[in-house]
Amino acid sequence: MKVALESYGGLAAVTGLRRPPKVLDTTALPAAAAAELARLLAAAAATPPEEPDGRARDAMSYTVTAQDGDRVTVLEQSDAAMTPAFADLLTWLRKHHAQQ
């Protein structure tokens, strides 16, 4: 499975810059890490997203795209409205991207 993380928006959105997604391939991860990522993805996908309250127009937004064969799962949330399950997934992804 390949999992991509895109971050966009925030104050940098004014410049129109969009960074390329960071991609993790679970085949390159230890089995325990790949299982943890799969668990976090399932939990985030099972939790309905929160409704943004409109107060944080400059909030960062995130898209996590998981591709497992022909199956693609896309999750989108922002700093203005983020579920705890998505936050856990985002934290895990950031930690592992920093280690690359």
Give pLDDT, residue 100.
63
Amino acid at 38: A
pLDDT in tens, 39-84: 999 999 999 887 766 666 668 889 999 999 999 999 999 988 899 9
**Token pair for 24:** 């993790």
**Token pair for 52:** 């943004």
Query: Is residue 48 within 8 Å of 38, Cβ to Cβ?
Result: no
Rounded CA separation 54/42 (Å): 27
pLDDT at 16 over 60: no
Report which secondary-structure segment, H or E, holds 50: none
Q: pTM for the complete prediction?
A: 0.85
Q: How many C-beta atoms surround the C-beta of residue 57 within 10 A?
A: 9
* Among 29, 95, 90, residue whose Cα is nearest residue 61: 90
Phi, psi values for residue 38, rounded to 5°: -60, -40
Give pLDDT, residue 50.
76
